[in-house]
Structure 1
């Protein structure tokens, strides 16, 4: 049998799921995708994602790769509609395309970008899609603090403890807040992210915005490499994985 590797681009609303990765006693996005692929292609299919999103986190762009036995590339490309009909409405496959046999959805990604959404007035249409924040924030100070992130590489202070990572070093290329309509949106791009890192960063910058800590305190927090010195993690509902970059995908 001939095995061919394919990349799948998908998007999902993570509200109903315990993250991307398959778990023993909880529904995940990966479980739903693998079940739909296995049903359609009539062979066991196991996907490997570009990363792990936590419970309740969303993705507007997410990639996974799969290996399929004896299936023509054209048939796979044209299967998007049929696969979507097998998926829950809150998960959507955008495209499936062939890649080189060694192309890896996780290890070959050169950068990832997230956005975190906050709103300030009760809005039923933003339920589970944005965090309702009650109070005022000094956005200018928050952006000054966000710029400091690019001066560092070790972000142990923003990582969950006891994670199975060899290093807590990341290269942050961009980070900052901007208004999009009546929403305040934090955007961040890096070569990699640690578990819970973005939500911990936003929680720490919120403390700056509330004037609980000074902008300069960010240096001390990062240098401490201690998670307990950073702010609390903000709720998952406002976080979106929005872009994953590969050298072989334009």
Structure 2
């Protein structure tokens, strides 16, 4: 038997069929699917830990998880096998050996999401974007987004009854752009709270539609009250798109 080693899996998934990332009773999750595929390949129970949870219906173009293994294997063979076993909505893109104590959740130094809004009904994009039949003011939404930057307490944008030690996050980027007839919101932070990005998007769209002012954003943040922020934007427009780690943890 080989010495136990730790590996990072880099993957993407379409969130619609899953009840979020995390394993739960009587519900189909991304984590359960990957653990089942790994256990089938290695013929023994194999568990994973992801960089973070995504809610029901949220997608990922780049997610990372880790698993431990004491069986020697060829990464390319495992990559091919997992993609053959997993449902079509999950794709494993890369397998990398990391330091034994590397942790996909706690060692991530930066995470990025984007959110897509389209303005016309589309049979091809309906599951991957929020269809908004209105034209929000991009400049006002960016003015509102500027108030998010820096380290602050974002409890006002967190799902209630969330088990966390604190609500402080450092947002490094937050901006909207119009591209190819879509509105895209980009946000990068050291960590995110449950439901945080969707609550921020909903609040900024309210600003863009004139229901709130950009200057309301600091008041909402200071309130630490979820009821003061806007309604959460639909899950289907949200993508986890990048998770960054220190290069020193990789062994290949």
TM-score class, shorter = over 0.9
Give 5+ residue unaligned stretches, structure 2: none
Counting matched residue pairs gives: 248
Partner in structure 1 of residue 90 of structure 2: 91
Map residues 23-62 of structure 1 onto 2, 5 A cutoff: 23-62=24-63
Give the secondary-structure state (helix, strand or coil) at the position aligned to 2:32: helix
> Is structure 2 residue 165 aligned with structure 1 residue 166?
yes
Q: Write the deviation string for residues 61-119 of structure 1: whole angstroms up to 9, x where unpaired.
A: 000000012324xx134310111000001100001111110000000000100000000
CA distance in 2, matches of 1:179, 1:37: 40
Give 5+ residue unaligned stretches, structure 1: none
Q: Could you tell me the TM-score, scaled by structure 1's length?
A: 0.97
Give the secondary-structure state (helix, strand or coil) at the position aligned to 2:127: coil
Partner in structure 1 of residue 246 of structure 2: 247
Give the secondary-structure state (helix, strand or coil) at the position aligned to 1:38: helix
Partner in structure 2 of residue 102 of structure 1: 101
RMSD: 1.2
Q: Write the deviation string for residues 36-69 of structure 1: whole angstroms up to 9, x where unpaired.
A: 1110111210010000000000000000000012
Q: Does structure 1 retain, via aligned residues, the 8 Å contact 2:178–2:184?
A: yes
Q: Could you tell me the TM-score, scaled by structure 2's length?
A: 0.96
Change (3 A) 1:103 1:136: same
Give the secondary-structure state (helix, strand or coil) at the position aligned to 2:212: coil
Moved over 2 A (4+): none
Partner in structure 1 of residue 184 of structure 2: 185
CA distance in 2, matches of 1:242, 1:149: 19
Q: Does structure 1 retain, via aligned residues, the 8 Å contact 2:150–2:170?
A: no
Quote the offset at 1:151 in angstroms.
4.6
Q: Does structure 1 retain, via aligned residues, the 8 Å contact 2:154–2:169?
A: yes
